[in-house]
Chains A and B, each alone.
Chain A
Amino acid sequence: MKMTSKFLTLLFIATVFNSCNDDDNEPSLVAVESKTATNIPAPQTGGQGQPVGGPFTKFSFATSAVTTSDTDWDIAFRGTTIALNGGAVTGTDDEPTRNGNAGASIASGTFVSISDAAGLTFAQDADGAFAIPTGSDNGWYNYNPQVNQISPIPGKVLVIRTHDDRYAKVEVLSYYKDAPAQPDATSESRYYTFNYVYNPNEGETSLE
């Protein structure tokens, strides 16, 4: 995996350089970053018929890390729910206040094929509804009750506008610790592993 992302990064740098050469008047752009976040914990309390609660795990694309900052975060995880730092609180317990301009759009295609965020409609969290819909087969995952398993829906790419108007695309790979190829009953859930590409230039929609 690491091999691939390095290679992609090189490719992106090359692309960016090319575009710079085309138009010398533009300020030079910072390279697009292609990375993998592994085992981002997303604990929750409740469930089993009880109200769901517990703090969300906040993540910042700019720092490529989990953060406790109340303002400098983009997306946040709790169980299968993904919140955005944009819009309004949905009404669930223990959720973070929204103070940024984050939004999300769910695109279909291979990760590579989603190359630009231009033209997409971005939804924000709102009272009663997350921008990335919750529940099986609505947003990013499928739940199989037969084997009690959460699988990220392949081909669903979450295109994210960050809290400070940068763009990123996210492909969730696994909901289980260490991303086993085929989770089983012993696999520990609520650990996100995802690929993402982040364009650190404000307003730049290119994702490759």
Chain B
Amino acid sequence: MNLNSVLTLVFIGVLRASVFGQEIPVQKDSVLIQDLDEVIVTATRTVRQLSSVPLPVTLISKKQLQKTGVIRLDEILNEQTGITTVADQSGFNGIQIQGISSDYVMILIDGVPLVGRSAGNFDLSRLAVGNIQQIEIVKGPSSSLYGSEALGGVVNIITEIPKEASLNGNVSYRFASFNTQDANLSIKQKFKKFGYSFYGNSLRSDGYDLRPEVEGQTVNPFENYTFNGQLFYNFSDQLKLFTSARYYMENQDVTLSVNDQLIEGLSDINDANAHIRLDSEINTKLQLQYEFYYTNYKASEELQNTVSNTLFSQNDYDQKLFRPEIRATYTVKSKNAITAGIGYSHENLDRTFFDQKVSFDSQYVYAQYDFYPWKKLNLILGARFDNHSEYQSQFSPKASLNFKLSDAISLKGSVGSGFKAPDFRQLYFDFTNAAVGYTVLGYNVAMDKVKALDSQGQLSDILFDLEDLETPLRAESSVGYNIGAGYTKAKVKLNFNLFRNDFKNLIDTRAIARKTNGQNVFSYANFDRIYTTGLELDAEYKLTDKLTLSGGYQLLYAKDKEKKVALERGEVFARDPKSLQTVALDNSDYFGLVNRSRHTANFKLFYEVPKWNFNTNLRINYRSKYGLFDGNGNGIIDTYDTTFVNGYALANLTLNKIFSDKYTLHLGANNLFDYQDAENIPGLAGIQLFTKINIQF
């Protein structure tokens, strides 16, 4: 229903703008042509022209990052069609793509994965955007190239590389509401053979408090620092070295109230990455890449009870990943290329609630053939095989095609598979909730731990044959289908995509034993089957060389298949919250999975006034209502739930003025209309004003 109204809105917008646009002298069409130079590397691991890629992709350029004045990755991703930032219980913002939650979206920086999901989501606000060249997002399963975790898609952050012989860069300072101060320094230089770049960022804030009546702030004061140094050395035109070291640290105060006692402490995050890559061109047809990558993510939190002056809790998390990989690209003939890779990955994690440090080892190999059987038809066939020390090996094939119907129109389709390995927590956790008394055990340790609890007399009943736990937990897996079309001509760019993702073996908790204290022992099992399906629509219209309008829309259905069956059989009930009468539900009452909005939309306007060296942009993002959790005990979000979060729109406005080519003054407001929902969306502060000065040199 909303599709029509959104479209109408966009068209009205276009009409109005064109009336307005008539006052501006007509420009030659040539300057209005969309940028055809946009290239993307994430989709195929080779450089590809954006419009020719047979997959749903989103590209965020440096220009867009600069003009919008955003400082963190989550802010800009949330403005893209079909991408929604969703906070986990710790308030960490992850992203949902095509209705697939953040756990299944891989985050890469220059092609290598970032780790550190200590509380569930990968916290995207960890990533400063100051030295980013572009952000590439590939939607849908991409495990055929990237392996585990790439079910929902891949976000790849491409950092800037030095290009000029003179020292260049920029320095900026931004001041915003809540005493939020963000400072950036970026320098880079490229000599004949040697190049370097350095990036530093510091961000601090007093945080904010949406509910002063509750002890502690909604977001406590924090400060963090990012440093990234890169060195480039070309031994020859055929042999090029790239090295990068990145370090991030964050401190944040923690205050909470437990039984009216004030608990205080500090949370620390340290994240380091080292990345070395050697590019070797053996001949005009064969190129090799040798890559070494190491990363270490540490988080710790120590809380003191201020009344009794005792340690309240101590929580540590230390994850390391080491991954060497060799890739080869062989050009069979013009535009037809074979890409292949082989790699090894060692990962370990030491954390509170684990008996000991645990590690995973895996070996993998992948290959892809990108070719044109016919001039207008591009096919990409690829597959990857992952062998793993802790779970069954995975084979992930993918096929995609692009058919160029005309210069302006191309049709795209792809089928791919994705998987996510059971994570360390799902295999090794040993946690007992002190307040309530339930226990959660990882799959691999559950059998021994249950036996131990039983021999201590803590169990009243074991609900499963423990021998069943000898079959290893399977990886979660999905098959994704995308079919769409793209139209690019002169001032107009349109993209349309239908998607469907079928997930099976989703890992969730189930009770495996009952304790004498009346609580359960939970462990993990493969049992859920879900799907997400819908359509995405993107439109951009360059009305004049000064005014660009764009809009996007996603329709989404995300549901649990088992629940649908139960609903069909009339086994699911709800209680009317007013009459307290129980009614049987059917599928029309089923809203879908938590945190999924049926409709999301965005509208953006970018306007330039060259004679004033001024530009401005207004971005509006909307998401319709969504369920936060099941509030009526039947395990689904249904029409009788009273736990829905109302739909809302956020508007962001930025004004930029450039002085003497070097200095840019930014003024802006995020959440312009001051939308707040303190109870349901604590991560959404009210209006935030900002001003920023940037000096380019």
Contact = CB atoms under 8 A, between A and B. Distances in A.
A155 B582 contact: yes
B511 A144 contact: no
B632 interface: yes
B517 interface: yes
B100 to A, nearest CB: 20
Contact of B633 (A48, A91, A142): A142
B582 A144 contact: no
Contact of A154 (B461, B520, B575): B575
B293 to A, nearest CB: 35
A178 to B, nearest CB: 12
A171 B435 CA distance: 28
Contact of B629 (A79, A90, A108, A146): A146
A174 to B, nearest CB: 8
B78 interface: no
Interface string B619-646: 0000000000111111100000011000
Nearest to A150: B633
A80 B95 CA distance: 37
Given A1-B580, A129-B461, A135-B519, 11 more contacts: A47-B435, A51-B517, A52-B517, A110-B573, A129-B514, A142-B634, A144-B631, A146-B629, A149-B631, A152-B575, A154-B582
A151 B633 contact: yes
Interface of B: 89, 432-437, 460-461, 511, 514, 516-520, 571-575, 577-584, 629-635, 642-643
A154 B634 contact: yes
Interface of A: 1, 4, 47-49, 51-52, 79-81, 90-92, 108-111, 128-129, 133-138, 141-147, 149, 151-155, 171, 173, 179, 181-182, 195
B436 A47 contact: yes
Contacts of A147: 629, 631
A129 B578 CA distance: 35
A49 B458 CA distance: 12
Nearest to B594: A146
Contact of A134 (B514, B573, B575, B580): B514
A128 to B, nearest CB: 4
28 contacts: A47-B437, A48-B436, A48-B437, A49-B432, A49-B434, A90-B460, A92-B516, A110-B582, A110-B584, A128-B460, A128-B461, A129-B514, A134-B519, A135-B514, A135-B520, A138-B520, A142-B633, A144-B630, A146-B629, A147-B629, A152-B575, A153-B633, A155-B572, A155-B582, A171-B582, A173-B575, A181-B577, A181-B578
A79 B584 CA distance: 28
B573 A155 contact: yes
B632 A151 contact: yes
Nearest to A135: B520
B518 A52 contact: yes
A153 B461 CA distance: 22
Nearest to A146: B629
B633 A181 contact: no
B518 A81 contact: yes
Contacts of B572: 155
Given A144-B630, A151-B633, A80 B518 contact: yes
Contacts of B582: 110-111, 154-155, 171
A182 B516 contact: no
A44 to B, nearest CB: 9
Contacts of A141: 633
A145 B480 CA distance: 32
Contacts of B574: 154-155
B580 A179 contact: yes
Nearest to B432: A49
A147 B633 CA distance: 12
A48 B435 contact: yes
B434 A48 contact: yes
A179 B573 CA distance: 18
Q: Which of B511, B519, B580 has the most CB of A within 10 A?
A: B580
B581 A111 contact: yes
A91 B461 CA distance: 13
B460 A129 contact: yes
B197 to A, nearest CB: 43
Contacts of A109: 573, 584
Q: Which 6 pairs from chain A and chain B are nearest by CB?
A: A155-B573, A151-B633, A181-B577, A154-B573, A135-B520, A134-B518
Contacts of B511: 135-138
Nearest to B511: A135
Contact of B577 (A49, A79, A135, A182): A182
Nearest to A36: B580
A67 to B, nearest CB: 23
A182 B634 contact: no
A181 B642 contact: yes
Contacts of B435: 47-49
Nearest to A136: B520
B460 A79 contact: no
A108 B518 contact: no
Contact of B632 (A52, A134, A154): A154
B260 to A, nearest CB: 13
A147 B573 CA distance: 21
A128 B435 CA distance: 23
Contact of A182 (B518, B579, B580, B631): B631
B634 A153 contact: yes
A79 B518 contact: yes
A182 B643 contact: yes
Nearest to A130: B518
Q: Which of B461, B571, B578 has the most CB of A within 10 A?
A: B461
A133 to B, nearest CB: 7
